[in-house]
Amino acid sequence: MGALETFNFDLHCHSTVSDGVLPADVVVRRAAANGVSVLALTDHDELAGLAVAAEVARDAGIRFIPGVEVSITWGDITIHIIGLGIDPGNVLLAGNLDRMRTSRGRRAERIAAEFDALGITGTLQGAYAYAENPQLIGRAHFARFLVARGVARDVAAVFKHYLVRGKPGYVPQQWAELADAVAWIRASGGRAVVAHPGRYKLSRDELRRFLAEFKAAGGEGIEVVTGSHSPEQYGEFARLAREFDFLASRGSDFHGPEESHVDLGRLPPLPADLKPVWHDW
């Protein structure tokens, strides 16, 4: 283990292939410059950045792990499942993500219709202007347009007042089923990890029920140290990793220099007693 601890793992980040603000090649070079030695690119519901990222990582002398962040609906809650070490050529995974991207396009039209009704027009074209990859449209693209339009001060403020449940511009979306998302990830040779488990509005009981279902479905890990967790949450999810015998992951969830408070690779280490998701890599 001694030598392993000198490796800097960042297993969660985004590029312009989904809702990150930097292209995949720039993300990889920035990670290398920040001292990351093993990087996973985990764009939302999309694999299109992985080939370029792998190539640039090779040039930059860092190890690259192909990843993805799959949106699922559990009950009526949206949860994100990270797949690590997936095969981007896997037809089951790629085909299902393709369907999810199509349904994102339909949701975008409904979001824009909601804003039209509010008198905030042009949001569909506006959001797509911020989406480098027109196959993958998300709320972050709407948020960036709304900031540019002066509707809110910054992206965080947009997500306080719009686009979220109970606020204008919110459109509910039926994402993948938990068991399906885990099955696709595993079928492609990957390992399924719950992204930022501290971000969901789940009671303690619901969280435990979710983690039990995730494990029963073949899920293997949870993010313990991630950009949106507080130090208290590192402790809370370390305890849950021990209780459920989950592998632990570490990832910044970097979306861009302005929008993310944690840069690539700039996270504390995992608690030393946890078994890292990379233990057998």
Judged by CB under 5 A, does residue 220 bind Mn ion? no
The DSSP secondary-structure symbol of 152 reads S
Return the number of the residue (91 or 129) whose C-beta is nearest Mn ion: 129
CB of 82 to Mn ion, least distance (A): 8
Return the number of the residue (119 or 240) whose C-beta is nearest Mn ion: 240
> Residue 195: which of ligand AMP, Mn ion, none does it interact with, CB under 5 to 8 A by kind?
Mn ion
- Here the tokens at position 145 are 């347009």
Sorted by sequence, the CB contacts under 8 Å of residue 148 that are 6+ apart come out as 126
* Cα 119 to Cα 205: distance, rounded to the nearest angstrom: 41
Q: Determine the residue type at 268.
A: P
Site for Mn ion in 59-88 (CB under 5 A): 69, 80
Alpha helices (H) along 88-246:
91-118, 123-129, 139-148, 155-161, 178-187, 204-216, 231-244
CB of 18 to Mn ion, least distance (A): 6
Query: Which residues of this chain interact with ligand AMP, rule CB under 6 A?
Result: 19, 44, 71, 138-140, 155-156, 159, 255
Pick the binder of Mn ion from 24, 38, 41, 195 (CB under 5 A).
Answer: 195
Judged by CB under 5 A, does residue 10 bind Mn ion? no
Q: For Mn ion, which stretch binds (CB under 5 A), given 19-27, 85-93, 108-116, 257-265? A: 19-27
Return the number of the residue (44 or 229) whose C-beta is nearest ligand AMP: 44
Judged by CB under 5 A, does residue 19 bind Mn ion? yes
Pick the binder of Mn ion from 43, 223, 253, 263 (CB under 5 A).
Answer: 253
Return the number of the residue (17 or 155) whose C-beta is nearest ligand AMP: 155
Query: Would you tell me how many other CB atoms lie within 10 Å of the CB of residue 242?
Result: 14
> Residue 71: which of Mn ion, ligand AMP, none does it interact with, CB under 5 to 8 A by kind?
ligand AMP
CB of 112 to Mn ion, least distance (A): 19
Q: Which of 173, 154, 132, 108 is nearest to 14 (CA)?
A: 132
Q: Which of 187, 219, 220 is nearest to 90 (CA)?
A: 187
Secondary structure string (H, E, C) spanning 65-89: EEEEEEEEEECCEEEEEEEECCCCC
CB of 141 to ligand AMP, least distance (A): 8
Element (H, E) at 250: strand 247-251
